[in-house]
């Protein structure tokens, strides 16, 4: 499952998106954490999953610790993984990453070679 977060770290929207990705359907539940948690448990349960939270910007620790982590870490079976992509080491620290992979920029030459190869 893949969710682009960007600068809009809205827990309700993220959880609804995860439910929609897991069910391939629309999530019309009210904006209630309790109802969304119940639905998340129902659709994911103890199944193993891979979730990518892409381009996370928000550096507000409380939003991750108090809300989203509790929801996401309560579902899924052994081997489930949440991958977070971000631009900031601070965000990676807040998200309690186990292992950080810092990517370097491509050189101009490498960028051009990639462009020529793929375009």
pLDDT in tens, 60-97: 777 777 777 777 778 888 999 888 888 888 888 887 76
Rounded Cα gap, residues 74 and 62, in angstroms? 17
Rounded Cα gap, residues 95 and 107, in angstroms? 29
Task: State yes or no: pLDDT of 39 exceeds 80.
Answer: yes
DSSP letter string over 14-73?
HHHHHHHHHHTS-----S-HHHHHHHHHHHHTT---EEEEEEE----HHIIIIIIHHHHT
The total number of structural domains that make up the chain: 1
Specify the DSSP class assigned to residue 74.
T
pLDDT band at 116 (very low <50, low <70, confident <90, very high): very high
Q: Count CB atoms within 10 A of the CB of residue 106.
A: 12
Q: What is the pTM of this model?
A: 0.75
| Domain region containing 49 | 2-118
Q: Look at phi and psi of residue 14 and say left if phi exceeds 0, alpha if psi is from -120 to 50, else beta.
A: alpha
Specify the DSSP class assigned to residue 105.
P
State the average pLDDT over residues 41-66.
85
pLDDT band at 25 (very low <50, low <70, confident <90, very high): very high
Rounded Cα gap, residues 109 and 24, in angstroms? 41
């Amino acid at each position: 499952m893949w969710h682009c977060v960007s600068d809009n770290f809205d827990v309700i929207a993220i959880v609804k998106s995860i439910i929609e990705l897991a069910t391939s359907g629309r999530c019309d539940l009210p904006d209630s954490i309790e109802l969304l948690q119940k639905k998340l448990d129902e659709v994911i349960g103890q199944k193993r999953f891979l979730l990518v939270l892409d381009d996370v910007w928000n550096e507000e620790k409380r939003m991750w610790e108090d809300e989203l982590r509790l929801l996401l870490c309560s579902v899924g079976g052994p081997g489930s993984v949440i991958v977070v992509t971000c631009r900031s080491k601070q965000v990676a620290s807040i998200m309690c990453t186990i292992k950080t992979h810092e990517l370097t920029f491509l050189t101009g030459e490498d960028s051009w070679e990639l462009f020529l190869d793929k375009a």
